[in-house]
Amino acid sequence: MTGLLGGKTAIITGAATGIGLSIAGQFHAHGATVVLADLDGSKSVDAASSMSERAYGFGCDVADEDSVQRLVDETVRRFGKLDIYVNNAGITRDASLRKMTTADFDAVIAVHLRGTWLGVRAASAAMRDAGSGSIINMSSLSGKSGNPGQTNYSAAKAGIVGLTKAAAKELAHKNVRVNAIQPGLIRTAMTAAMPPEVFAEREAAIPMKRAGEPHEVAGAALFLASDLSSYMTGAVLEVGGGRLM
Ligand SMILES: NC(=O)c1ccc[n+]([C@@H]2O[C@H](COP(=O)([O-])OP(=O)(O)OC[C@H]3O[C@@H](n4cnc5c(N)ncnc54)[C@H](O)[C@@H]3O)[C@@H](O)[C@H]2O)c1
């Protein structure tokens, strides 16, 4: 098997679309067997079937403990091991503090922060037994700078950085690496939901003067998943066209 990930097994959450789908596609192109996990199970099955027999779609709710455990157990049962786990699934429930409900706050924390923690815990249990692994957590530049209207999302994304570093320290001696990515403004369904004037304003503030594409985040994930980053753990890679450097 050729490529940077030949013979590896990878789970990518939120992989039915957007950045997760692009990560799954690049990992697959580099030889990995990929499990595309998403709340929308049928969409992830469809996405996987457009790749090859090395791609599997799986319905999973990352905020649900049993669902995440099933995802990891089923992957290890079918493929014998788990080498790479990408905590990518995400949602937004944007509103000002005056308008944000407790339900909006809890939903975003549940998917991003609890979901990432559940993924790190389940994946690392499988990886530490094997003596190697790479876990990649999708944070955001919102977690570095704080975005108005995103107190829930910014808190979750900053929390993912702390979780990444703590887990990296716990797992380093087992040769399990844990790193994070902080994308800036990336063109996906998530940002298509933004008011066009807000998108344009954010884009104008980027030194590279354009939004990023999903494959440009997937490239950073590929690097962190592969042995090219074998001496990196607890790192946070910014993929934002120079924004908020
Ligand atoms: N697009 C951006 O500009 C941007 C910037 C920074 C960070 N991010 C982060 O990148 C990740 C991917 O974002 P995207 O833009 O591709 O979003 P997207 O909305 O295009 O895709 C998100 C995917 O996650 C899935 N999902 C949602 N809740 C889930 C759950 N509970 N369990 C399993 N799957 C679930 C959705 O079904 C969807 O397929 C997210 O964590 C997001 O916060 C995105």
pLDDT in tens, 38-83: 999 999 999 999 999 999 999 999 999 999 999 999 999 999 999 9
Helix, strand or coil for residue 229?
helix
Q: Quick one: which atom of ligand 1 is closest to the CA of 44?
A: 39
Q: What is the number of other CB atoms lying within 10 angstroms of the CB of residue 126?
A: 20
Q: What is the dihedral of CA 16, 175, 165, 106, to 10 degrees?
A: 40
Say if 217 falls within a structural domain: yes
The alpha carbon torsion through 69, 155, 216, 56 (nearest 10 deg) reads 20
Q: What is the mean pLDDT of the chain?
A: 97
* Cβ–Cβ < 8 Å for 35, 75: yes
**φ and ψ of 182, to 5 deg:** -115, 90
Ligand 1 binding pocket (C-beta < 6 A) is 13-14, 16-20, 38-40, 60-63, 88-91, 111, 138, 140, 183, 185-186, 188-191
Beta-bridge mates of residue 84 = 10, 134
For residues 202-230, average pLDDT: 98
Assigned domain for 2 exists: no
The answer to whether position 181 is within a domain reads yes
153 an active-site residue? Answer: yes
Q: What is the pTM of this model?
A: 0.98
Q: What separation in Å is there between the alpha carbon of 155 and the centre of ligand 1?
A: 16
pLDDT tens across 186-200, in order? 999 999 999 999 999
CA–CA gap between residue 14 and residue 245 (Å, rounded): 27
Q: Report the C-alpha gap between 39 and 124 in whole angstroms.
A: 22
Mean pLDDT of 13-26: 98
- For position 133, what pLDDT does the model report? 98
In a domain, 19, yes or no: yes
Pocket test for ligand 1, best of 181, 190, 236 (most atoms within 8 A of CB): 190
- Rounded CA-CA distance 23/92 in Å is 20
Q: Which atom of ligand 1 is nearest to the CA of 153?
A: 43
Query: Which domain CATH number covers 50?
Result: 3.40.50.720
- Residue 214 falls within a domain, yes or no? yes
Q: How far is the CA of 177 from the centre of ligand 1 (A)?
A: 22
Q: Which of 22, 23, 39, 213 to mutate to test the pocket of ligand 1 (most atoms within 8 A of CB)?
A: 39
pLDDT for 1 beyond 70: no
Owning domain of residue 184: 9-235
Q: Which atom of ligand 1 is nearest to the CA of 186?
A: 3
pLDDT digits (tens, 9 = 90+) for 118-144: 999 999 999 998 999 999 999 999 999
Q: Does some domain include residue 240?
A: no
Distance 90 CA to ligand 1 centre (A): 3
Whether residue 3 lies inside any domain: the answer is no
Average pLDDT over residues 103-132: 98
The pLDDT, as a whole number, for residue 25 is 98
Q: How many domains does the chain have?
A: 1
The string of DSSP codes covering 136-165 is EEE--THHHH--TT-HHHHHHHHHHHHHHH
Residue 243 lies in a domain: no
Can you read off the two tokens belonging to residue 65? 């403990």
For residue 98, the model assigns a pLDDT of 98
